Amino acid sequence: MRPGPEGVPWWRDAVIYQVYPKSFADSDGDGVGDLPGIVARLDHLAWLGVDAVWLSPFYPSPQADGGYDVADYCGVDPALGTLADLDELLTRAHGLGLRVLVDLVPNHTSDEHPWFRAALAAPTGSAERGLYLFRPGSGPGGQDPPNNWQSIFGGPAWSRVDALTGRVEDGGQWYLHTFDARQPDLDWESPLVRERFEDVLRFWLERGVDGFRVDVAHGLVKAEGLPDWDGGATAMVMGGSAHAPGSDVVDLGPMFDQDGVHDIYRSWNRLLATYPGDRAMVGEACVEPAERAARYVRPDEMQQAFNFPFLQCRWDAEALRRVVTVSLEADGAVGAPTTWVLSNHDVVRHASLLGWVDTGRSPNGIGADDPQPDAALGLRRARAAALLLLALPGSAYLYQGEELGLPEHTTLPDDVRQDPMWFRSGGTERGRDGCRVPLPWQADRPGFGFGPTGRTWLPQPPEWAALAADVQRDDPGSVLWLYRDAIGRRRSRGLGSGWLEWVRVDDADPSGVLAFRNRDVLVVVNVGDAPVAVPDGRRVLLHSDPAGAAAGVVGADSAAWVDMA
């Protein structure tokens, strides 16, 4: 594996590529991606030049939430492969110099997890029930939920136990599920839950994983007494986009960002430290403001947390400058590297979000009858955004397919949708299927070469033919090559471990241009309308727009790296 500078752990400046296993590559032709499919395509990631892979859940799961409903934390879903396949994946990835992070889903299990099955079978007040948040209902006979919390996917966050067991229980028992009803929340006040998860961590660390992505890291501990909350559910979802970065503390309610969560990460930090090789954790802590999120990456907690305010930021120079500055300051204050991310499996792909004039919107999915983004504008901006993302100091997260410039599937037929958000919202939220469509590898093969039979568990948009990986490999002007070149230069110039200094490009309108120095590279991102000239006599290392490169300018919605050495 690439040696870091002496004593500097690999994750501080890593480029980490998120694989959503069901949609990356299919080896057996059933239309669902799998672990052998990933193994067969690892050379793509090595060629791209990333440092690590984060695998979204591949565990046994009824797939009520795309695998984030885990029925066995120490296994592999038979549809995705076997533990031996996972071992093979680790060996092959490590052989190619790629680290591997696996997804840990500790806030909730699947309703089919044996722990929950046992809890349902056991009586009220039993030790088995103690692993989860079972509570008596309110109102006469416990007919109403214990409190007014709403599920993030829509509807109440509580479901009745008797609906599952068919047994009437005194006081009408309910169980809490922050997400789908098939994802019961664990009770992290229970020492047994803590013990069992430490075993899960050990299981994977011993198998050789390099660390964990921690799902809903801000949600494990709930406020004592589970008090009512009138803030609704939307405010919890990644904080929404209403709050400016750097704003005051945002109350996320009694279900999120409780002080008690930090004890858990401190204990996991100690556990990881007993294994060799800089094992790391990255937290999905949807917490604002940045200072509050930085508490998850204090020296004795997790190594990284996702930078959701950056992902949600408008295409606006002032807003971007602000979110970058605030993030660097907040993480810098605790000695942690900042992370940068544009897309993941929960949000509309940024090549589509950036194709709207109003880039401040972040809907939960796009449907055929919604206003459609401008694909050409989105792609142009996505190319520029890639040069911003990969020039920033710290660690960068890529979501599978963004290196191909893939847009969201914005016209998926509603009858193929699978996201529980679509069902629980009664069809008012399209959900996240549009960013989870199987990848196009080969333009002229059925299913764009996703697997051997052409089957794909979600249909691919026909326009993806032009974006297939094999077509882009043959085109040095493609998005794929832009990502590869940027990752290579980022490494050779040490940008990930560099530092940022905002500068002005002399003839630029400062309101539309983002310009900074990182080591000996000048980065110019033009989100305005007026073109900016490249400084005289300086060589352009990378440009998101070939026409601008030829003309020696950075035009609207483009970006360049300029050599200042």
- Active site annotation includes 318: no
Q: Considering the complex, what minimum distance in angstroms separates the CB of residue 77 from ligand TEU?
A: 15
3-state helix, strand, coil in the chain (%, to 5): 35, 15, 55
- Specify the 3-state DSSP secondary structure of 185: strand
Which tokens sit at 559?
């970006």
Min dist CB 241 to ligand TEU, Å, is 11
Per CB under 6 A, 558 contacts ligand TEU: no
Q: Least separation, in Å, of the C-beta of 288 and ligand TEU? A: 13
Helix (H) or strand (E) holding 488: helix 479-492
Residue 258's SS3 state is coil
Q: Is 250 in the site for ligand TEU (CB under 6 A)?
A: no
Among 105, 217, 120, 209, residue whose Cα is nearest residue 169: 120
Residues 362-391 within binding reach of ligand TEU (CB under 6 A):
364
- Single out the residue of 26, 34, 51, 65 in contact with ligand TEU (rule: CB under 6 A): 65
The residue from 80, 152, 201, 524 that contacts ligand TEU (CB under 6 A) is: 152
Cis peptide leading into residue 289 (ω within 30°):
yes
16 binds ligand TEU (CB under 6 A): no
Per the annotation, the verdict on 284 as an active-site residue is yes
Non-local (6+) Cβ contacts of 406 within 8 A are 349, 351, 439, 440, 464, 467
| Angle made by CA atoms 445, 451, 455, in degrees to the nearest 5 | 85
Nearest to 531 by CA among 564, 562, 558: 558
Among 26, 346, 433, 545, binds ligand TEU (CB under 6 A): 346
N residues, the chain: 565
Nearer to ligand TEU, 68 or 229 (CB): 68
The 3-state DSSP class for residue 96 equals coil
Answer for which of 1, 237, 377, 530 binds ligand TEU (CB under 6 A) is 237
The verdict on 286 binding ligand TEU (CB under 6 A) reads yes
Closest-approach residue to ligand TEU (CB): 68
State the minimum distance, in angstroms, from the CB of residue 34 to ligand TEU: 19
Q: Which is nearer to ligand TEU, 68 or 212 (CB)?
A: 68
The candidate with the shortest Cα–Cα distance to 431, out of 440, 443, 421, is 421
**Catalytic residue among 215, 257, 346, 408, which?**
215
Q: Does 268 bind ligand TEU (CB under 6 A)?
A: no
Residues 68-87 that bind ligand TEU (CB under 6 A): 68
The site that binds ligand TEU (CB under 6 A) totals a number of residues, namely 14
Distance CA 465, CA 457 (A): 17
- Closer to ligand TEU by Cβ: residue 153 or 340: 153
CA–CA distance, 310 with 319 (Å, rounded to integer): 9
Going from the C-alpha of 246 to that of each of 321, 437, 476, the distances in angstroms are: 12, 35, 40
For the bound state, the minimum distance from the C-beta of residue 211 to ligand TEU, rounded and expressed in Å, comes to 17
Catalytic residue among 210, 284, 346, 545: 284
What φ, ψ does residue 399 adopt, rounded to 5°? -105, 130
| CB-side neighbour CA atoms (13 Å) of 455 | 11
- Tokens encoding 297: 């990456």
Q: Which is nearer to ligand TEU, 410 or 544 (CB)?
A: 410
Options 19, 79, 238, 527; binder of ligand TEU; rule CB under 6 A: 238
What is the contact surface with ligand TEU in residues (CB under 6 A)?
A: 65, 68, 105, 152, 179, 215-216, 237-238, 284, 286, 345-346, 364
Residues involved in catalysis = 215, 284
